[in-house]
Amino acid sequence: MTYDDIIALIAKETGLPAERLVPDATLATLDIASLDLVSLLFELEDRYGVEIQPEELSRETTLRQLLERIGVTAPQ
Amino acid sequence: MTDRQNRRVLVTGMGCVSGLGRGVAANWQRLRDGDGAIRPLVPPAPSGIAAWIEGGPGDSARFAGIDAQRLRRLGRLDPISAFAIEAALEAVADAGLPEHPSLAHLTAILLGCGSGGNATIDAGYERLFGRDEARVHPQSIPSSMITAPAAHIAILLGVHGPVFTLSSACASSAHALGEAMHMIRSGRVDVVIAGGAEACLTRGSMAGWQSLGVLAPDTCRPFSRDRGGMVLGEGAAVLVLESERHALARGAHVYGELAGYGATSDASHITAPNTAGIAAALRTAHEDAGTAFDVPALISAHGTGTALNDVAETTALHEVYAADLPRHRVIATKSAHGHMIGATGAMEFLLGMVALNEGVAPPILNYLGADPDCELPLVLERENISPDVLISSSFAFGGLNAVLVGKRA
């Protein structure tokens, strides 16, 4: 599970181009709908065994925070 | 009658995807050439034969010209939605309607589907019962609901009018076209994006059909001796139907008219066909179109290739047309594109309209010889034809019958 793996997964589940998935973007600025978010969390658990509850995240959560929670480090 | 004439319903766009190929031109060429799509399935598909789509469901790369932000709102697409979207975008582009102001509020979408997202449902059951997982994908419901394909098309095209799916098994999309015709006749909308879709070549769905005992072991041989049953297909067919006033005002290309519709229910048996119900649907459609029984017609039969259906349909055609039957020509295109279930009525009407326009009747495939119980004026070799009228029949499980009358432009 690398940074690129996770970015590719987020891109697939949200339909967003990977170049928009910069570490400081928030779920709100990326306009990630709750349906896409629960699908992303489902795939993370399914593929990588990472369990995250939707309640742990907010609209203001950044991708950097999400990646840290998953256990991969975003480039500075 | 005056009202009806004022609101003639024209066909101004067509799109389809089936085992024969992607797009109307590719489908028609293989159909006309007698190049059928029925062949063995290959893994990971379940074992068996079917008219399956090479390359599988389309992805967003095939949805050319669609705004990426709209695509994001669709969620996960089951193959049934991908097929429906592919056919609908072709039809709407063919009609010259993309970005047309009428799409927003003067347009309806009415699709016929026999079932919903079988692949999505199979995948969920496989997790639950095959792998003893506790959860299924969060989008299992919105991806597999039977109305998802219609909703997906509405989101992509920005259609805010009436949008829904109707279901009547193997007649679903024939009923959809017929009811769409009435929506235009009644003045509710000017345009209907109408047709059907099905994606049923999954392990779960195939097992159900196999258990029912209606699938042929070899191929589909409509009205032939030694026919062994039906063969499943998959895909979608969508037409743009338009009021004459609206079509003429914008100078649309017109393929012809959807001139009549007869819908009846046998109310007799859940699977066995009923000659009286079939005959009643044929008569009702003729009456609705104002077309006499002796006007030479291209009859696109339901022609599934099952022992019972083909005999019941033959009997009904003799009852209805009697001495005039030899004036007509009978085709059965399921022998090429398989039984596309919810999509098949629209597919057959679409191909029949192309046949009228081209003046060519495509051959019934895989015919081994005459069955004395199925004596009809069958088209067994491709032939040039001159009828202006199409009779397209769908007789579904549940005894649900829909017959459409098309007229060449």
| Domain boundary assignment for chain A | 3-70
Task: Kindly state the tokens that stand for B258.
Answer: 């959807």
Taking contacts as CB-CB distances below 8 angstroms, the residues of chain B near A39 are: 75-76, 137-139
| Residue in this structure with the two tokens 């000659």, named with its chain if needed | B275
At residue B4, the pLDDT reads 52
Average pLDDT over residues B82-96: 97
- Please tell me the distance from the alpha carbon of residue B291 to that of residue B78, in angstroms, as a whole number: 41
Confidence of residue B65 (pLDDT cuts 50, 70, 90): confident
- Please tell me the distance from the alpha carbon of residue B64 to that of residue B60, in angstroms, as a whole number: 8
Please judge whether A42 and B135 are an interchain contact, meaning their C-beta atoms are less than 8 angstroms apart.
yes
- Please tell me the distance from the alpha carbon of residue B69 to that of residue A16, in angstroms, as a whole number: 9
B386: Cβ–Cβ under 8 A, 6 or more apart, which residues?
B296, B359
Q: What is the CA radius of gyration of chain B?
A: 20
- Chain B nearest-CA distance from A7, in A, is 16
Give the mutation candidate from B72, B131, B133, B143 for the A interface (greatest A CB count, under 10 A): B72
N-to-C CA span, chain B = 20
- Smallest Cβ–Cβ distance between B72 and the set A15, A38, A42 belongs to A15
CB atoms within 10 A of CB B215: 21
User: Residue B67: is its pLDDT beyond 90?
Assistant: no
Phi, psi of B292 (to 5 degrees): -70, 155
Taking contacts as CB-CB distances below 8 angstroms, the residues of chain B near A35 are: 75, 138-139, 142
Sign of CA dihedral A22, A26, A32, A35: positive
Confidence of residue B6 (pLDDT cuts 50, 70, 90): low
- Tell whether B67 is within 8 A of chain A (Cβ): no
Q: pTM for the whole thing?
A: 0.96
pLDDT one-digit tens code per residue, B253-308? 999 999 999 999 999 999 999 999 999 999 999 999 999 999 999 999 999 999 99
Please judge whether A39 and B139 are an interchain contact, meaning their C-beta atoms are less than 8 angstroms apart.
yes
Mean predicted lDDT score pLDDT of chain B = 96
Confidence of residue B2 (pLDDT cuts 50, 70, 90): very low
A–B CB contacts, 8 A cutoff, strictly below: 23
- Cα distances (angstroms) measured from residue B156 to each of B98, B99, B166: 10, 11, 20
- Cα distances (angstroms) measured from residue B4 to each of B37, B183, B186: 39, 12, 9
Residues 6 through 45 of chain A touching chain B, CB cutoff 8 Å: 14-17, 33, 35-36, 38-39, 42
DSSP annotation string for B231-277: -BB-EEEEEEEEEHHHHHHTT----EEEEEEEEEE--S-SSS--HHH
Please judge whether B139 and A35 are an interchain contact, meaning their C-beta atoms are less than 8 angstroms apart.
yes
- Which has the minimum average pLDDT: B70-74, B147-151, B381-385? B70-74
Average pLDDT over residues B23-51: 96
Taking contacts as CB-CB distances below 8 angstroms, the residues of chain B near A49 are: none
Taking contacts as CB-CB distances below 8 angstroms, the residues of chain A near B76 are: 39
Q: Show the domains of chain B with their CATH numbers.
A: 2-249 (3.40.47.10), 258-408 (3.40.47.10)
At residue B56, the pLDDT reads 85
Single-letter amino acid, residue B58: G
Question: What are the catalytic residues of B?
Answer: 170, 302, 339
At residue B60, the pLDDT reads 60
At residue B3, the pLDDT reads 54
Task: Kindly state the tokens that stand for B90.
Answer: 């072709």
CATH 1.10.530.10 fits A3-70, yes or no: no
Phi, psi of B81 (to 5 degrees): -70, -40
- Cα distances (angstroms) measured from residue B289 to each of B79, B157, B191, B245: 35, 31, 20, 19
- The three-class DSSP label of residue A57 is coil
Taking contacts as CB-CB distances below 8 angstroms, the residues of chain A near B68 are: 15, 17
Residues 116 through 135 of chain B touching chain A, CB cutoff 8 Å: 135
Q: What ipTM was reported for this prediction?
A: 0.90
pLDDT one-digit tens code per residue, A26-39? 999 999 989 999 99
pLDDT one-digit tens code per residue, A39-48? 999 999 999 9
User: Residue B1: is its pLDDT beyond 60?
Assistant: no
User: Residue B387: is its pLDDT beyond 90?
Assistant: yes
pLDDT one-digit tens code per residue, B174-202? 999 999 999 999 999 999 999 999 999 99
- Please tell me the distance from the alpha carbon of residue B198 to that of residue B91, in angstroms, as a whole number: 17
Please judge whether A14 and B72 are an interchain contact, meaning their C-beta atoms are less than 8 angstroms apart.
yes
8 Å CB contact between A62 and A25: yes
Helices (H), B95-138: 102-105, 118-125
Helices (H), B189-233: 203-212
Question: In chain A, whose CA is at the least distance from the CA of B139?
Answer: A39
| Residue in this structure with the two tokens 């081994």, named with its chain if needed | B368
Confidence of residue A75 (pLDDT cuts 50, 70, 90): confident
At residue B68, the pLDDT reads 80
| Residue in this structure with the two tokens 């003799």, named with its chain if needed | B318
- Chain B nearest-CA distance from A12, in A, is 10
Average pLDDT over residues B343-368: 98
- Chain B nearest-CA distance from A40, in A, is 9
8 Å CB contact between B17 and B58: yes
Taking contacts as CB-CB distances below 8 angstroms, the residues of chain B near A37 are: none
- Smallest Cβ–Cβ distance between A15 and the set B71, B135, B139 belongs to B71
Task: Kindly state the tokens that stand for B217.
Answer: 């072991």
| Residue in this structure with the two tokens 């649907």, named with its chain if needed | B281
Question: In chain A, whose CA is at the least distance from the CA of B143?
Answer: A35
Residues 138 through 157 of chain B touching chain A, CB cutoff 8 Å: 138-139, 142
At residue B395, the pLDDT reads 97
Average pLDDT over residues B231-250: 98
